[in-house]
């Protein structure tokens, strides 16, 4: 099990081997975390997305590209379920975390920074989004040593901290 920490900040500035992108199925950039990663990484991220994923990615799947100009070496893109659009199968959200960690293992990444997948514009119920992240990462068999769950707001950071403390108390 990796060491999991909550971080309040910007995922694009994390000095880790890989950052995880909450992408859309088209893999061509977008809003939220996806837009921030594409802006921070520069055009190399989009070029790699087009080359590696000409048909995009399915919900729950993951794949990697360069991180371009970010401190990380790779971006692991995963497509979360869009709760607001009716994609409500929690197994798809759990799959995002599992598949991203499997890709990290394929890359021999030792440190990975995750956002809270589907918790933004895709409107997954927030407390369950946090629980899915913490429980899936904590129960994984990954070789990744350090996982950061990067929260953009103080409220999200506090929620991740509470979930991690509750997990440790079990």
Residue-wise pLDDT tens digits, 45-64: 999 999 999 999 999 999 99
CA distance 116 to 148: 11
**Parallel/antiparallel/unpaired status of strands 74-79 and 62-66:** antiparallel
Query: Which residue among 10, 17, 34, 55 is the active-site one?
Result: 34
Taking the whole predicted model, whether its pTM rises above 0.95 is answered as yes
Question: What pLDDT, on the 0 to 100 scale, is given for residue 25?
Answer: 93
pLDDT in tens, the chain (170 residues): 899 999 999 999 999 999 999 999 999 888 899 999 999 999 999 999 999 999 999 999 999 999 999 999 999 999 999 999 999 999 999 999 999 999 999 999 999 999 999 999 999 999 999 999 999 999 999 999 999 999 999 999 999 999 999 999 88
Closest to 73 in 3D by CA, of 31, 107, 33, 32: 107
CA angle 165, 122, 136 (to 5 degrees): 35
> What distance in Å separates the CA atoms of residue 89 and residue 100, rounded to the nearest whole number?
18
- Is 34 one of the annotated active-site residues of the chain? yes
Q: Give me the pLDDT at residue 115, please.
A: 98
Neighbouring C-beta atoms of residue 35, cutoff 10 Å: 12
CA 91 from centre of chain: 15
CATH class of 3-169: alpha beta
How far is Cα of residue 26 from the mean position of the Cα atoms in its chain? 16
> Quick one: pLDDT at residue 116?
98
- 55's CB contacts (< 8 A; 6+ apart) are none
- Which residue has 């990444």 as its token pair? 109
Give the model's pLDDT for residue 104.
98
């Amino acid at each position: 099990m990796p060491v999991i920490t909550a971080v309040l900040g910007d995922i694009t500035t994390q000095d880790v081997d890989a950052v995880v992108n909450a992408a859309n199925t088209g893999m061509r950039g977008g809003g939220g975390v996806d837009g921030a990663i594409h802006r921070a990484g520069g055009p190399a991220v989009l070029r790699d997305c087009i080359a590696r994923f000409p048909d995009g990615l399915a919900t729950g799947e993951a794949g990697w590209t360069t991180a371009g100009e970010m401190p990380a070496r790779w971006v692991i893109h995963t497509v979360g379920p869009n709760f607001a659009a009716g994609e409500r199968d929690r197994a798809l959200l759990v799959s995002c975390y599992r598949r991203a960690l499997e890709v990290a293992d394929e890359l021999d990444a030792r440190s990975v920074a995750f956002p809270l997948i589907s918790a933004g514009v895709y409107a997954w119920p927030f407390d369950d989004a946090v629980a899915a992240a913490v429980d899936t990462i904590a129960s994984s068999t990954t070789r990744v040593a350090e996982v950061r769950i990067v929260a953009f707001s103080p409220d999200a950071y506090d929620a991740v901290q509470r979930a991690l403390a509750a997990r440790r108390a079990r």
